[in-house]
Structure 1
Amino acid sequence: MSVDKLITRNFRNLHDLDINFHSKFNFFVGDNGSGKSSLLEALFYLGHGKSFRTSKTEALVCYKKSDFVVSIKNDNNCQLGLSRNVSTGETNIKIDGERHYRLSVLAKNIAIQIVTPESFKLFFGGPKERRRFIDLGMFHVEHDFSTLWKSFNRVLKQRNACIRLGNSSSNSSSMLTYWTDQFCELSKQVAQVRFEYTSAIIKELDVWLAMLLPDLKSRVTVQYLQGWPQKKELKEVLFDNIMREASYGYSLYGAHKFDVKFLLDKQSLETQLSRGQQKLFLLALTFAQAKLIAQVNRVKPILLIDDIGAELDINSRRALSSALEQLDCQVLITAIECEVLQPFFDRLAIIDNDHKYDSCIDSDKINPESNSTTKLENYKVFHVKHGEITAMYPDNSE
């Protein structure tokens, strides 16, 4: 799917928006603080029920306002909307006018993938960030995973409660045995589904690394860690660590401890790559997941890339431009200056209220060896200033 129209009310520093997107490429140019990231955040919030920038919902509403609205119409003419009152905490979700009560119902209708400066947490934020990345993809690709994961978490909570009880009751030992059996069985099921999905990600990742980091592709490996030693049964590991778990008060091994490690020459990838190379790897990984999601008929992903110019030199942006052409999804990209978008265009005239860029990316600046094949009819360009978003190409006045 793609987003045809976005409507926002009282969201961040954005003026009330009612804008139409292109089904392929959409570029947003503006200064820092103009509202570019807020635009991406609005779409992300609709798809995930949370922000990628803050955990404080009250930070998302305009100054002196108590509620905000984010709504889209997709290419199937389906209307998805969410409103949130930050004073009462009430959330109102509607799909084609019908009221819903779970945020997960929105995620079933819109799949948002994003790369931002915060995405580097995938390397530095610990296993939790990598688990979140993999599981978000699995939600869209493995339709039964959400139910399986909920069952696992329910059993995990019960087992942890029994561990904390210790020997305080006569039934605690038998209860711990019961929940441990359930825990081990569900851990194995979750681990198997994750292993299959991670294997698919790794295979697809090779394709995108060949485009974005061809010199490093053969040196990159991905290590899958299921959450307990590979050569041991989980029940055996738990039995050997009864005393340790009792001292900590929770389960130390199981599917909730899953991790993937990205290695270059068998060393942590983030310690070996430059910041720009790390960003290209994040993009390749995100593209791999987006491609898997696109293969599922239920929903196609929407890709958000914030501040495309940061960390990426012109050669990297040329490689990225070529790679994006291979993705079957809608793309929204932000940039501070139009010049950094040069590899994505052949020729572009941009006009805003203050300046006229007569072919700021003109034919004399285009590298003849560039692989960019983006056609003029395949994109829209918007200018973002003080929360206002104006279409620059094609010019709405035409």
Structure 2
Amino acid sequence: MSATPLSIREVKVRHLRCHEEITWNCSEGLNLIIGANGSGKTTLLEAVYLMAHGRSFRQARDPFLVKRDAERFFIHGQWHRYGPMNLSVAGRRGQTTLRLQGRDVQRRKDVSESFPVLVDAPQGRKIIDGAPGERRRWLDGLVITCFQNMAIHYERYLRAVMQRSRLLRRRASSEELDVWEHQIVQYGKPIVLAREKMVAEMNLYLVEEVALTEHPLTISVTMPDYDQQAWLSRLKEKRSDDLRTGLRFGPHCDLVNIHFQKREIRSAGSRGQQKLAAIAIKMAECGLWTRYRKLIPVLLLDDCLEALDRTRQLRLLKRLQNSSAQVLMTAPEGVNIASDLNIRIQLLDAHGLCDSATSSMVSMLDDDTTEVMEEAA
């Protein structure tokens, strides 16, 4: 069965952050919004994400989604997945309501799985340079997405870890602890194996992105040898230590590494290289969604040309142009766009959005300049 591309055709926003009312019409391929800082470019990407997830992609739980002096915000989107679909969000501080085809959505997870939207944004999840827990949660979310039966293993593994901790504090009997320690190993082992498989498949997709990243990018997980008997023995022997420090051995503590030029990308990569690596990882995620869920996600890229020189900007735009996913991206005024690229460019200012092939806000490179940049690449 071939994969179905997901796309959004129109977004209507009212009273969301700085926007009073605005309509955004999108093409199926590569869409670029250009505007000044503070004009609300990121907010339009945020509106798309809100429809799919019921929350913002920004790190903090931001209570200021509603425009100042307004009581509620509203978002309505016309999507296409097999056929036309309508998604809408209404919200106020701390509360959002999703509606699909005019009916309230009870489980947001059902929408996010049916309308996959991936995002790379400066204010989003820090996969490249974030804390170890960020990377681990990202990888585990991908495992659960691709191997749907794994969600129950994660749930039961974490429950067993918490129950063991409670029993340790209560000075429970060894027999009681044995029961939960066997469950930790029983449900933890499939998590370890699923992660290994996920990382191996992700790395295969990343090999295809070397033209973008320039150097090989690989993902690995630092973890001990989870031999079943040795794992059980370790849990039993370290009960006193774990009572003081908590359980620091198991899949919930493993480190996810991203290697660039055989070093951790946090230290080895420049800002531009880290930016390209983050986008390459999102492209690999698209490949995994396509393979396992038979859906091609919408890809949101906020300020993705930042920290890139002209050559790398061109290389990235050409890669995105050839993607099977619909790409919605933003860039600041004055960005350089090669004239032969097939991109829908829209300019955002105080009056709203307008289509433009040329403007003082965007510099269109001529063919000679493009050829020089291609040779440099």
Smaller-chain TM-score bracket: 0.7 to 0.9
Letter in 2 for 1:94: R
Deviation at 1:237, TM superposition (A): 2.8
Deviation at 1:71, TM superposition (A): 3.1
Q: Work out whether 1:51 is the aligned partner of 2:47.
A: no
Deviations 1:57-81 (A, max 9, x none): 4121111233323332211211222
Which of 288, 293, 296 is the aligned partner of 2:289? 293
Letter in 1 for 2:364: I
Question: What is the DSSP-based 3-state SS (H/G/I as helix, E as strand, rest coil) of the residue aligned with 1:105?
Answer: helix
**Alignment of structure 1 residues 221-236 onto 2, 5 Å:** 221-226=218-223, 228-230=224-226, 233-236=230-233
Letter in 2 for 1:62: K
Letter in 2 for 1:190: I
Q: Which residue in 1 is equivalent to 2:200?
A: 199
Aligned equivalents of 1:234, 1:270: Cα separation in 2: 31
**Alignment of structure 1 residues 110-259 onto 2, 5 Å:** 110-118=115-123, 121-165=126-170, 167=171, 171-208=172-209, 210-214=210-214, 216-217=215-216, 220-226=217-223, 228-230=224-226, 233-248=230-245, 250-259=246-255
Q: Specify whether residues 331 and 211 from structure 1 end up closer, same or farther in structure 2 by C-alpha distance, changes over 3 A only.
A: same
Deviation at 1:100, TM superposition (A): 2.4
Which of 78, 94, 100 is the aligned partner of 1:95? 100
Deviations 1:98-133 (A, max 9, x none): 222222122112212112224683233221111122
Q: Work out whether 1:80 is the aligned partner of 2:87.
A: yes
Aligned equivalents of 1:42, 1:117: Cα separation in 2: 16
Aligned equivalents of 1:147, 1:294: Cα separation in 2: 23
Aligned equivalents of 2:155, 2:79: Cα separation in 1: 29
Letter in 2 for 1:192: L
Contact 1:309 1:340 (C-alpha < 8 Å) held by counterparts: no
Q: Which residue in 1 is equivalent to 2:72?
A: 67
Q: Which residue in 1 is equivalent to 2:359?
A: 357
Aligned equivalents of 1:160, 1:90: Cα separation in 2: 33
Q: Specify whether residues 213 and 348 from structure 1 end up closer, same or farther in structure 2 by C-alpha distance, changes over 3 A only.
A: closer
Structure 1 stretch displaced more, 104-113 or 155-164: 155-164
Aligned equivalents of 2:41, 2:77: Cα separation in 1: 17
Deviation at 1:163, TM superposition (A): 2.9
Letter in 2 for 1:331: V
The Cα RMSD (Å) is: 3.0
Q: Specify whether residues 118 and 347 from structure 1 end up closer, same or farther in structure 2 by C-alpha distance, changes over 3 A only.
A: closer
Contact 1:81 1:93 (C-alpha < 8 Å) held by counterparts: yes
Pairs aligned (count): 360
Which of 4, 7, 23 is the aligned partner of 2:9? 4
Deviation at 1:37, TM superposition (A): 0.9
Aligned equivalents of 1:126, 1:90: Cα separation in 2: 28
Deviation at 1:343, TM superposition (A): 7.0
Which of 278, 298, 303 is the aligned partner of 1:302? 298
**Alignment of structure 1 residues 311-350 onto 2, 5 Å:** 311-342=307-338, 345=341
Which runs of 5 or more structure 1 residues have no equivalent in the other structure?
372-398
Question: What is the DSSP-based 3-state SS (H/G/I as helix, E as strand, rest coil) of the residue aligned with 1:357?
Answer: coil
Letter in 2 for 1:302: V
Contact 1:68 1:84 (C-alpha < 8 Å) held by counterparts: yes
**Alignment of structure 1 residues 30-49 onto 2, 5 Å:** 30-49=35-54
Identity of aligned residues (%): 23
Deviations 1:153-199 (A, max 9, x none): 3333323322333x1xxx55433221211121111112222221111
Which of 365, 368, 371 is the aligned partner of 1:368? 371
Letter in 2 for 1:160: S
Aligned equivalents of 2:344, 2:55: Cα separation in 1: 35
Aligned equivalents of 2:225, 2:70: Cα separation in 1: 52
Aligned equivalents of 1:349, 1:55: Cα separation in 2: 30
Letter in 2 for 1:50: R
Q: Which residue in 2 is equivalent to 1:20?
A: 25
Q: Specify whether residues 28 and 344 from structure 1 end up closer, same or farther in structure 2 by C-alpha distance, changes over 3 A only.
A: farther
Which runs of 5 or more structure 2 residues have no equivalent in the other structure?
1-5
Aligned equivalents of 1:58, 1:313: Cα separation in 2: 36
Deviation at 1:303, TM superposition (A): 0.8
